Each structure stands twice: as C-alpha cells, then as structure tokens.
C-alpha cells in the first residue's frame, strides 16, 4: 500500500547508465540531459541551445558529467506526466570496478548501452554481471545504429547468447548504418521517422509496408518474452489473440523489474535519435523506489536486521556513495536517502564511523545548475556540504535512532560466467 506521503515516489526513477568504454555512455547521458533540460528550464540557463553550449564547453575542457548524481525532469510523451529522473554516474572503466559496484547499490534500474556494430563486448558482460548480482533491472539501448556495421539483430542475439538473458525487442530500426532514419515502436505499433538531420523533428505515423514482416517477427519475439512472465499475455498468446498495448506494457514492466526479461531499444545518441523514446522507456519499464526491495540494515552488535521501505515519514536511512571536492564549497558528500527525510542544519549519526555529524547545506545537482534545498526525502539523491567524516559507503541514520548499518557494499568476489 502506498501512502499519500509516498505517492511522489511513483514518479521517481533512479537510474544509472552502464556501458563498455566507447559504446556511447557519455554521449547518451549528454543527450538525456539535453532533452530533460530543454523541456525544463533549470537555473539560469533558459533554453536548449544554451544547455548544449554549456555541454560543448565542458567537453572542450575535458569534463563531461561531473556530478555523481544529476536530477532531471522528463515528461512522458504518452501520458504527459512529469517524472523525476535521477541519473547516477557509473564509472565506465574496468579498473573502477569497486566504484561501479558502489554506484550499483544506489540505483534502482539501469540503461545498458551497447555499440550495435560490436554487439555485447567483454566489458559490457562484466558490468551486466555486476548488475545481476545487485539485482538491478535493466533496459538495453542498442546505440550507434548509424554506424557502419550496425546491427540490431546482433545485439539481440548477443544478449541471448553471451548474456544468457531474454531480450524483449520493443523497437526495430528503420534502416541501419547511414540509412538509419527512424524507429518502429513494436509495443504501440507506430513508426517514428526523423525528418531532419538533427533528429529533433519526429513524425509519428503508420509502419511502412516494407517493414511488415520484420515487425511481425519482432512482435512475436516480444509477445513470447512477455508471455513468459505474465499469465494474461500467456493466455492470449496460447489462444492466438493479441494482447492490448496496456497489457503488453504491464507485462514487460513486470518482467523487467523481476529481471526476467530485458527490453531492447535502438538509436543513435550521436545523431539525437531514439533518446526521447529511451526516456519514455525508462519511465515505462524501470522501477520506482517503491518497486524495489526495501534496503536492509543490520543492528549493531547483533544479527537482527531492519528494513527501510522508501517512505519520507520513516526513520532516516541514507548511504554516502561518493565524495567530491568542489572548488567553491569544499567537500561534497553525495547521498541517497532510502527512508526518512534529511534536513539541512540537522545532526545525523554516521553508523559506520560511529560519529555524530552535522549536516550543513543540501544541494540537488542539475545538468547545468545546482539547487539549494532544505531537505532530501526518501528516494532522493543529492549532495551534503559540511559532513566532515563521512566516507563512501557510510550509513547515515537519525541522531538517537537505533544503530543500524545498511547492507554493506563489500561484496563477494564476482561470479562471472564465461
């Protein structure tokens, strides 16, 4: 049961973008920030062009996404409802494996970006296994559809064969390589055609006849995948009936959250194609903080555990996951609040360091601005200024609350199936 106080959480998605180096994680993240910033003027930058300029400047200086967690807003193109999408930076290099693991702990879902001309590369496999161990639901983005050698089918078969997972093709590309001109939505049976080179003008219409066979094949694969995880779709499938769009979305969402199936999308981040549909899919298929298992904490000096469901009115439970030095404000401690509400100027107890600490100011980081807030609620991520002792992986709880340590991020050696 969701209480009134928790209701905002249905419109929250805390996600990471994971990829093999060079698959296009940075480009995809930038485009996401561009689209989310364009529809929502945040801070002093008031239009999309300026957001892009800012990104170009950052890029020239060799910095891309500097915040460990960036808060963005997205209006779903189907429902028109607004969602808060927190993007948690996941390091993309294999040497940062422990950092990847840390970030996995604080996200509820991930977008796995693949280079569609390469399929599933070895390092993507490593990241995939890490996400498996942390139980992170995923959607896959088959990027670089415009590149020579791009093949959506290669990505689908690699997901099946190399990752041993069930791909749910929710899209199909219209044209590949230099001829990539649009995306067919296999769930809603619509064609999205890009009518300018920038990828910003999109025409939504009927599926061109030349794709009918391919679409039928993909739809069959999709329905079979959905039927595996949903009885209603299974019944219809057995009776040769078509599920409704709503039934299909519900089934795919359930299967994705249970990590049984993995929706696969396609696009070209570089050419601005597919990114808006990707954001819609984040909302459609990845879980809200209410749909993931509650984080557990272990009582100090005991085997007893406590659960902290996402609830702003619950006891405070937060995890520091990244420390950054900021030239203006000093030490920034990035936290995810799982339960309760963290107030600026309050005292918290760092259960890992066994120390009481004072919370200074609180910030939410946006793509091109930072916003000072007075509180961070359950499900939210932000940065704390003023914590002197907190380190990555430290548990923060209410001062005077029973002492618990949140599930440790020290994990057993990875079990990588080759």
Flag whether 19 is marked binding.
Answer: yes
Q: Minimum Å distance from CB 163 to ligand GDP? A: 18
Q: Toward ligand GDP, which CB reaches closer, 118 or 256?
A: 118
Flag whether 289 is marked binding.
Answer: no
Pairing of strands 166-169, 261-266: parallel
Q: Toward ligand GDP, which CB reaches closer, 92 or 167?
A: 92
Q: Minimum Å distance from CB 303 to ligand GDP? A: 42
Flag whether 86 is marked binding.
Answer: no
List Cα–Cα distances, 187 to 87, 161, 184, 245, in angstroms. 25, 24, 9, 6
The alpha carbon dihedral of 339, 344, 347, 351 has a sign of: positive
Flag whether 143 is marked binding.
Answer: yes
Q: Minimum Å distance from CB 269 to ligand GDP? A: 4
Contact 297, 306 (CB under 8 A): yes
Q: Toward ligand GDP, which CB reaches closer, 19 or 363?
A: 19
The structure tokens listed for 315 are: 């006891």
- Burial per residue of 97-121, b for 16 or more beta-carbon CB atoms within 10 angstroms, e otherwise: eebbbbbbbbbbbbbbbbbbbbbbb
Flag whether 20 is marked binding.
Answer: yes
Q: What interhelical angle do 245-257 and 231-238 show, nearest 10?
A: 130
List Cα–Cα distances, 303 to 134, 315, 411, in angstroms. 21, 20, 18
Q: Toward ligand GDP, which CB reaches closer, 24 or 398?
A: 24
Which 3-state string (H, E, C) describes 98-141?
HHHHHHHHHCCEEEEEEECCCECCHHHHHHHHHHHHCCCCEEEE
Q: Toward ligand GDP, which CB reaches closer, 127 or 406?
A: 127
Q: Toward ligand GDP, which CB reaches closer, 28 or 341?
A: 28
Contact 309, 293 (CB under 8 A): no
Flag whether 26 is marked binding.
Answer: yes
Q: Minimum Å distance from CB 201 to ligand GDP? A: 18
Flag whether 92 is marked binding.
Answer: yes
Q: What interhelical angle do 212-229 and 231-238 show, nearest 10?
A: 130
Q: Which residues contact 237 (CB under 8 A, 6 or more apart)?
A: 223, 224, 227, 243
Q: Minimum Å distance from CB 114 to ligand GDP? A: 10
The alpha carbon dihedral of 126, 132, 136, 141 has a sign of: positive
Q: Minimum Å distance from CB 50 to ligand GDP? A: 21
Report the half-sphere exposure of 407 (CA within 13 A, side-chain side): 15
Nearest CA among 250, 246, 230 for reference residue 238: 230
Flag whether 91 is marked binding.
Answer: yes
Q: Toward ligand GDP, which CB reaches closer, 21 or 405?
A: 21
Distance CA 71, CA 59 (A): 20
The structure tokens listed for 383 are: 């940065």
Q: Toward ligand GDP, which CB reaches closer, 147 or 181?
A: 147
Flag whether 22 is marked binding.
Answer: yes
Dihedral over alpha carbons 51, 199, 282, 220 (to 10 degrees): -170
Q: Which residues bind ligand GDP (CB under 6 A)?
A: 19, 21-27, 92, 143-144, 146-147, 268-270
Flag whether 144 is marked binding.
Answer: yes
Q: Toward ligand GDP, which CB reaches closer, 15 or 319?
A: 15
Q: Minimum Å distance from CB 143 to ligand GDP? A: 5
Flag whether 135 is marked binding.
Answer: no
Nearest CA among 131, 152, 133 for reference residue 15: 131
Q: Minimum Å distance from CB 383 to ligand GDP? A: 23
Q: Minimum Å distance from CB 220 to ligand GDP? A: 28
Residues placed in the known binding site for GTP: 19-26, 89-93, 143-146
Residues placed in the known binding site: 19-26, 89-93, 143-146
């Amino acid at each position: 049961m969701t209480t009134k106080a928790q209701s905002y959480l249905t419109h929250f998605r805390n996600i990471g973008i994971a990829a093999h180096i060079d698959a296009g994680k940075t480009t995809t993240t930038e485009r996401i920030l561009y689209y989310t910033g364009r529809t929502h003027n945040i801070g002093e930058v008031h239009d999309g062009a300026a957001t892009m300029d800012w990104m170009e400047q950052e890029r020239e200086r060799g910095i891309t996404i500097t915040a460990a967690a960036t808060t963005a807003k997205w209006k779903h193109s189907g429902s028109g409802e607004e969602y808060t999408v927190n993007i948690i930076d996941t390091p993309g290099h294999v040497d940062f494996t422990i950092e990847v693991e840390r970030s996995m702990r604080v996200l509820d879902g991930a977008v796995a970006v693949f280079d569609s001309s390469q399929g599933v590369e070895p390092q993507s496999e490593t990241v995939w296994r890490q996400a498996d161990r942390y139980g992170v639901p995923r959607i896959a983005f088959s990027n670089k559809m415009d590149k020579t050698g791009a093949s959506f089918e290669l990505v689908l078969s690699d997901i099946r064969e190399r990752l041993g997972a069930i791909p749910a093709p929710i899209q199909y590309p219209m044209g590949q390589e230099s001829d990539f001109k649009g995306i067919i939505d296999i769930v809603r049976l619509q064609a999205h055609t890009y009518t300018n080179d920038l990828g910003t003008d999109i025409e939504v219409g009927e599926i061109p006849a030349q794709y009918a066979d391919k679409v039928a094949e993909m739809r069959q694969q999709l329905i079979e995948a959905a039927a595996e995880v949903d009885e209603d779709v299974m019944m219809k499938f057995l009776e040769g009936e078509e599920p409704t769009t709503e039934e299909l979305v519900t089934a795919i969402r359930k299967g994705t959250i249970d990590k049984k199936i993995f929706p696969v999308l396609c696009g070209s981040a570089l050419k601005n194609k597919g990114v808006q549909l990707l954001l819609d899919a984040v909302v459609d298929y990845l879980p809200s903080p209410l749909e993931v298992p509650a984080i557990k904490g272990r009582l100090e000096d005991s085997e007893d555990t406590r659960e902290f469901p996402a609830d702003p009115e619950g006891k405070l439970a937060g995890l520091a996951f990244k420390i950054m030095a900021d030239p203006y404000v000093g030490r920034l401690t990035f936290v995810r609040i799982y339960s309760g509400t963290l107030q600026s100027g309050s005292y918290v107890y760092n259960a890992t360091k066994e120390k009481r600490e004072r919370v200074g100011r609180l910030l939410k980081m946006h793509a091109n601005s930072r916003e000072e807030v007075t509180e961070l609620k359950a499900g939210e991520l932000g940065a704390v200024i003023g914590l002197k002792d907190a380190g990555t992986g430290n548990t923060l709880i209410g001062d005077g609350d029973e002492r618990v340590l949140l599930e440790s991020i020290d994990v057993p050696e990875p079990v990588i199936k080759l």
